[in-house]
């Protein structure tokens, strides 16, 4: 019997079923096990769980029960959780004593791989958590990038790009983990000096620079290495002042972007009516 939680998803090229050894033993079918006998997964890659999302899941479980079985492996004094941490925690919050579980015997590296896949499929891992999980597979279990890619169902180039995030300045990694910058911002900063990364991440976080603006700022610093990062940021701060003046004048979001031969002005609008208003403002009402 194929447990419900291995149904095909579109998030990855392979489902969990491709990573979980199938057996013909009685343990292949879901069974109710006591939550008190379930130990946490020492290879859990997710470091944070949103409390609000957990409470919403607990409320659903209180009404409908745990629909998808968790995945565990047997240990001497009970069971060790492989996948389904949120379901177990939410079931506890809902007052349940037992949860449905599928029992598999998995090697340690398979436990980590399955946990990574489940979290990635559910988009529960941020980019840094995913990078640390792949590094653990490489360092602790001696897997190559090709082997990691095969196990988690991603392209090798994707694994390599995510692992490069671990080379970023710690401040950039923290900002990425906390969602203050995006993975695109972080990749734009890759290869820059720690000083440049430190100053630019503050500009991205404080002023809401887009990925393209960040890439342009990094390019300017690389093309003219004599320019200090703080000078570039200060110059960009002048652009922000000009942007703010245009925003007030036009009543909408305006972006300025410099280029080697000049630049461009991007004026955003969100409806036909707003476009007409902006057109009239810019043309003086003349067709």
pLDDT digits (tens, 9 = 90+) for 110-132: 777 777 776 666 656 788 888 88
Task: Name residue, tokens 């003219």.
Answer: 224
| Residue of 212, 202, 227 whose CA lies nearest to 263 | 212
> Most confidently modeled of 122-131, 139-148, 178-187, 263-272?
178-187
Whole-number pLDDT of residue 239: 67
Mean pLDDT of the chain: 77
pLDDT in tens, 49-93: 678 878 888 888 888 888 888 888 888 888 988 888 888 988 989
Whole-number pLDDT of residue 164: 92
> Most confidently modeled of 150-154, 173-177, 237-241?
173-177
Cβ contact 71:87 at 8 Å: no
CA–CA separation, 152 vs 160, rounded Å? Answer: 13
Whole-number pLDDT of residue 261: 65
Whether 228 has a pLDDT exceeding 80, the answer reads no
CA–CA separation, 25 vs 43, rounded Å? Answer: 25
Angstrom distances, CA of residue 93 to CA of 50, 124, 127: 14, 20, 28
Whole-number pLDDT of residue 1: 40
Whether 47 has a pLDDT exceeding 70, the answer reads no
Cβ contact 189:214 at 8 Å: yes
Of 4-13, 69-78, 183-192, 197-206, give the lowest mean pLDDT range. 4-13
CA–CA separation, 164 vs 135, rounded Å? Answer: 10
- 130: annotated active-site residue: no
For the residues 36-59, what does the mean pLDDT come to?
Answer: 79
Mutual angle of helices 272-283 and 229-250, in 10-degree steps: 100
Whole-number pLDDT of residue 157: 92
Q: Residue 28, class by beta-carbon neighbours within 10 Å (0-12 exposed, 13-18 middle, 19+ buried)? A: middle
Q: What is the β-pairing status of strands 78-83 and 38-39?
A: parallel
How are strands ordered across the β-sheet holding 98-103?
Answer: 31-34, 98-103, 70-75, 78-83, 38-39
For the residues 233-256, what does the mean pLDDT come to?
Answer: 73
Whether 34 has a pLDDT exceeding 90, the answer reads yes
CA–CA separation, 186 vs 170, rounded Å? Answer: 11
Domains plus CATH for the chain?
Answer: 4-122 (3.90.1530.10), 168-283 (no CATH)
Whether 24 has a pLDDT exceeding 70, the answer reads no
Whole-number pLDDT of residue 96: 92
Cβ contact 166:135 at 8 Å: yes
% of the chain beyond a pLDDT of 70: 77
Residue 103, beta-bridge partner list: 72
Which among 50, 85, 178, 244 is annotated as catalytic? Answer: 85
Whole-number pLDDT of residue 4: 39
């Amino acid at each position: 019997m194929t447990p419900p939680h291995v149904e095909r998803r579109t998030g990855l090229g392979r489902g969990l079923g491709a990573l979980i050894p199938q057996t013909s033993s009685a343990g292949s079918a879901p069974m109710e096990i006591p939550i008190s006998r379930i130990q946490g997964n020492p290879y859990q890659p997710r470091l944070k769980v949103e409390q609000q999302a957990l409470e919403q899941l607990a409320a659903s479980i209180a009404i409908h029960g745990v629909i998808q079985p968790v995945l565990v492996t047997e240990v001497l004094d009970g069971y060790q959780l492989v996948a389904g941490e949120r379901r177990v925690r939410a079931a506890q919050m809902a007052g349940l004593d037992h949860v449905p579980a599928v029992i598999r015997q998995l090697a340690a590296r398979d436990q980590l791989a399955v946990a990574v896949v489940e979290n990635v499929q559910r988009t529960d891992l941020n980019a840094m958590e995913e990078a640390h999980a792949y590094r653990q597979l490489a360092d602790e279990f001696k897997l190559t990038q090709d082997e990691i890619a095969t196990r988690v169902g991603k392209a090798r180039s994707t694994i390599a790009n995510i692992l490069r995030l671990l080379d970023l300045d710690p401040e950039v990694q923290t900002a990425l983990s906390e969602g203050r910058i995006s993975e695109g911002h972080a990749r734009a900063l890759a290869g820059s000096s720690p000083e440049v990364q430190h100053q630019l991440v503050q500009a991205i976080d404080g002023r809401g620079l887009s990925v393209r603006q960040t890439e342009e700022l990094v390019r300017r610093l690389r093309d003219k290495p004599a320019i200090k990062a703080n000078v570039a940021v200060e110059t960009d701060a002048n652009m922000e002042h000009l942007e703010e003046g245009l925003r007030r004048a036009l009543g909408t979001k305006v972006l300025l972007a410099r280029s080697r031969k000049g630049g461009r002005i991007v004026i955003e609008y969100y409806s036909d009516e707003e476009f007409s208003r902006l057109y009239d403002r810019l043309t003086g009402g003349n067709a």
